[in-house]
Structure 1
């Protein structure tokens, strides 16, 4: 795991921890809704008794950071900085993998599918106000998907599923053999077509 917390950010955060007046206070770093378009990188105070046994610990010269286990792959390459400005300062957190962790051939098939959905497929569907998400993987080879937004109830969704989504996923993910749609397409309120 590669997380950079600059000296100025360490200085700023350790100052905040000191003001809490609790011995052994640390910073907790995690991602809310990791691996989704709504992912948010968060920092919070963490009392010594709040440390979880599954947390990864990052010991820095000026502070200790606990990293929530489920957030670890999404925080790879994260960068935390503090810049002083005229009106005070600005803490900046950048986590380029928060919405989707980097994947490789040995990543879990769910991560590989989500990566292709969010990086290759959803940007095209967004032009029509649509999106698709992974519901589950059956027997390690069948992806069950759910369409939303403008795709739900769209008359072209079967074509999109077979010629676009399924073809792309099967091409890019070894071992995936089929894609199923569990969307209720009788709801046509936001349908594109």
Structure 2
């Protein structure tokens, strides 16, 4: 069974929505766009008979079926679909704590492991300054070429951050890496954080 939980309230609400459709056997499909990235969005859509995919995981609920997209499934672990009512009516909410977490391990491609560390450990620390770092490429000699963005661009502390923080963390955690290099032009000082 997929690691996604639909509360009783969500099931009732969705069952009511589905009952208003004029298609027999209609269900819902749960998927994530851009899973494992900071831009991941969890989505629910109608799934008419024939629209399901053979690799989908099926959850048979009392009133309807849920098809879970195979690629999205690991990112939907511990996800909760709920429905809550308030004065303005009600709202369907989807909480998927793992939607943005890249699924990587020691055997994953080098770029995936670097991106994972950037997203989970390095960028959260830079976010308070409105900054972020993206991986551009890994070049010969095991050098990760990084691009600083947001508040990091034009900041006088970039070199220190790059060498003391980012390089130490990445090189310590990823044995194939020998260093990092910055491609960003720090002469642009608009919106820089000091």
The normalised TM-score by structure 1 is 0.79
Question: What SS is found at the alignment partner of 1:66?
Answer: strand
Measure how far apart 1:122 and its partner are.
1.5
Alignment match, 1:148? 149
- 1:128-150 per-residue CA deviation (whole Å, 9 max, x = no partner) reads 221112334558x5533221111
Superposition deviation, residue 97 in structure 1: 1.0
Q: What does residue range 7-46 of structure 1 map to in structure 2 within 5 Å?
A: 7-46=8-47
What corresponds to 2:75 in structure 1?
Answer: 74
Shift of 1:171: 1.5
In the other structure, the counterpart of 2:118 is 117
Counterpart position of 2:174 = 173
Q: What is the SS of the residue equivalent to 2:20?
A: helix
Measure the CA separation in 2 of the matches of 1:159 and 1:188.
Answer: 17
So what's the TM-score if we normalise by structure 2?
0.79
Counterpart-to-counterpart distance in 2, 1:86 and 1:156: 49
SS at match of 2:72: helix
Indicate whether 1:4 and 2:11 are aligned.
no
Q: Describe the SS at the equivalent of 1:165.
A: helix
Instruction: Give the gaps of 5 or more residues in structure 2.
Output: none
Q: Partners of 1:94 and 1:49 in 2: how far apart?
A: 28
- For residues 6 and 108 of structure 2, the distance between their equivalents in structure 1, rounded to whole angstroms, comes to 26
Answer yes or no: is the 8 Å Cα contact 1:100–1:114 preserved in 2: no
* Aligned positions, number: 191
Distance 1:142 1:46, change over 3 A: farther
Query: RMSD value over aligned CA atoms?
Result: 2.8
Cα shift readout 1:102-147 (whole Å, capped 9, x = no counterpart) = 54434444443333222321122123221112334558x5533221
Verify the 8 A CA contact 1:73 1:101 in the aligned structure 2.
no
C-alpha contact (below 8 Å) 1:9/1:82 kept by paired residues: yes
CA distance in structure 2 between the partners assigned to 1:137 and 1:5 by the alignment: 42
In 1, Cα distance between equivalents of 2:150 and 2:28:
37
- Deviation, 1:51, is 2.9
Which secondary structure does the structure 2 equivalent of 1:80 belong to? strand
The SS at the match of 1:50 is coil
Give the direction of change, closer, same or farther, for the CA distance of 1:67–1:177 in structure 2 (3 Å limit): farther
